[in-house]
Structure 1
C-alpha cells in the first residue's frame, strides 16, 4: 500500500462532513422542490459515500468492489423509496469528482507527488465512481419495475370483478381482450370467489369482449371446467351474432357449455328475472 494513498484517504476522511455538505448545498440549489425536503435523510448517505471514496483508495480491489456493491444496492433502494429520481441522484456524480478531486489535488501538491502517482490516485477514484453509479442505479430500476408490476396487478384485479347477484349466484363481466396473464387471473378469481361466496351458479359475461378466437375459447373452457370440478354450474352470456359467427367459422365447439346471447337470458335460465338484479 502506497503511503501517499493512505495520506490522501485520511485527508478526505477529515473533510467528509464538509464535502457532504457542499454536495448537499449544490443539490438543494439545483433541485429545491425534489431534494430539499429530503436533505436531512440524504446528508448521512452522502457522508457514507465520501467515506467510501476515501477508503477505496487504500482497499484491495475485491474488497473495494464488495463495499461499493453493498453500499450502492442499499442506498439506491433507500433513495428510490424516498421518491428521489435517478436523474437527480446521478447529477451528484460530477460533484463528487470535483470536490474530492480538489482534495486529491491539494494533498498531491502538498506531498509533491509525481505525475504518475497523481494519475494513479485520480484514476482509482474515477473507477470507484463508475462502480458506484452502476450499483446505485440497479435498485432504482428494480424498484420502479416493482412499482409498475404492482400497478399492473392492481389494474388487472380491477378488470376481473366478480359481482354477486343474489345468494349463490355471481357474474364476472369480462371487458377487453384476454391474454395469458389475464386468463390466469380470471381463473384464479373465479375459483376463489366461487368458494368464498359459496356459489352454485357462475356467469361469464362476454358482452365486452371484442373477439373470441381459439385461444380465448380454450381459456374459457378451462375456467368453466375448473368451476365444474368444485360443484359450480358455469355458463357464458354475451354471445353476440358476430362472436357466434366467428366461433362457427373457427370450428370452436362449446360442447356441454351453456351459452346465452344476453345476461338476462342466462339469469332467467337459473330462475332469476332481470328486474330482480337491478
Structure 2
C-alpha cells in the first residue's frame, strides 16, 4: 500500500496545476474574475500550492497530526492574505468542496488504472479529508480575525476623527462634540483630549456640546473626569453650546455642574477669554 500511496502522491504533484485550473473553473466565471484584486495566474498558483500539500502528504503518509501543521500554516497565511485583498469569505470558501472533488477525480482515475484496492482508497481518504478540514478551519479563523482587526482599526480611526481639537489661538482650542457618547467613545475622548492638550500646550479648552443630543449621568461623569484631568495639566475647561433640552435633562437627573465653567456659545466664551486674559 505504501508504494500505492506514493504513486498517488506523485500523480497529484504532477497534475497540481491541472487540478488547480479545474477548481478555478468551477469556482469563478470570467466576469467575476475581472473584478478580483489578483490575476488569474496568481490565484491558480495559490490553488496549485495548496494541492501540492495533498500530494506531499500522501508521499509521507502524513496524518492530521504530522501533516496538519503545514495545512494550518497555509490556512492562516492565505486566510489573512485573502482578507487583506478584500475578497468575501463566502467566495473564498466556495472552492472547498471542489478541491475534494477535483483531487479525487485524479486519484480515482489513477486507482482504476492500477487496479488499487478499496483499502487504499480508504487510507487516502483518512489522510486527505482531515487535512482539508484543518486547512478550511485555519483559513476561516485567520480571515475572521483579520476582518475583525480591520473593523476595529476602522472604528478606532473613525472615533479618533470624532475627537477634533481645533486650535483657535495660542493656548486656546475648541472640541466640537457631535452625536452620542458611549462608553468606548468616552474612554477614547479622555485619551485623545489629554494627549492633544499636552501636544498643543493648551491653557484653555472649550467643550462645544451643541452637537450632543443626549447627556446622561455617564456622559456627565466623563466630562467631570476630563475636566479634572485637564486641570492637573493646567488646562481650564469651558463648556459651551448646551442645548435647552440637554440642560433640562441634566437638571432632571440632578447633575451638579456647579464646579464647571459654562458659557452659552463660542462667541461669548472667546469674548470673556479675551477680556480676562487677552488671549485673542
Asked if 2 retains the 8 angstrom alpha-carbon contact of 1:240 and 1:261, the reply is: no
Is it true that 1:104 corresponds to 2:107 in the alignment?
yes
Is it true that 1:209 corresponds to 2:206 in the alignment?
no
4+ residue runs over 6 A deviation: none
Matches within 5 A, 1:166-185: 166-185=169-188
Distance 1:36 1:173 in 2: 39
Give the match for residue 55 of structure 1.
56
> Structure 1 residues 36 and 225 mapped into 2: Cα distance closer, same or farther (>3 Å)?
closer
Give the match for residue 135 of structure 2.
132
Of 189, 192, 196, the residue aligned with 2:195 is: 192
Q: Which structure's relative contact order is higher, taking Cα pairs within 8 Å and 6+ residues apart?
A: 2
Deviations 1:60-102 (A, max 9, x none): 3312211110111012222222333322221222321222101
Q: Which moved more, 1:177-186 or 1:124-133?
A: 124-133
Give the match for residue 261 of structure 2.
258
Of 74, 79, 82, the residue aligned with 2:82 is: 79
Give the match for residue 237 of structure 1.
240
Q: TM-score, normalised by structure 1?
A: 0.89
Task: Compute the displacement of 1:26 (Å).
Answer: 4.3
Distance 1:89 1:247 in 2: 51
Unaligned runs of 5+ in 2: none
The count of aligned residue pairs is: 275
Is it true that 1:39 corresponds to 2:40 in the alignment?
yes
Is it true that 1:9 corresponds to 2:12 in the alignment?
no
Task: Compute the displacement of 1:36 (Å).
Answer: 8.2
Task: Compute the displacement of 1:172 (Å).
Answer: 0.3
Unaligned runs of 5+ in 1: none
Q: What's the Cα RMSD here?
A: 2.3
> Structure 1 residues 255 and 98 mapped into 2: Cα distance closer, same or farther (>3 Å)?
same
Give the match for residue 153 of structure 2.
150
Distance 2:37 2:226 in 1: 53
> Structure 1 residues 36 and 149 mapped into 2: Cα distance closer, same or farther (>3 Å)?
closer
Distance 1:26 1:168 in 2: 65
Give the match for residue 23 of structure 1.
23
SS at match of 2:257: coil
Q: TM-score, normalised by structure 2?
A: 0.89
Asked if 2 retains the 8 angstrom alpha-carbon contact of 1:76 and 1:140, the reply is: yes
Distance 2:142 2:63 in 1: 25
Q: Which moved more, 1:82-91 or 1:250-259?
A: 82-91
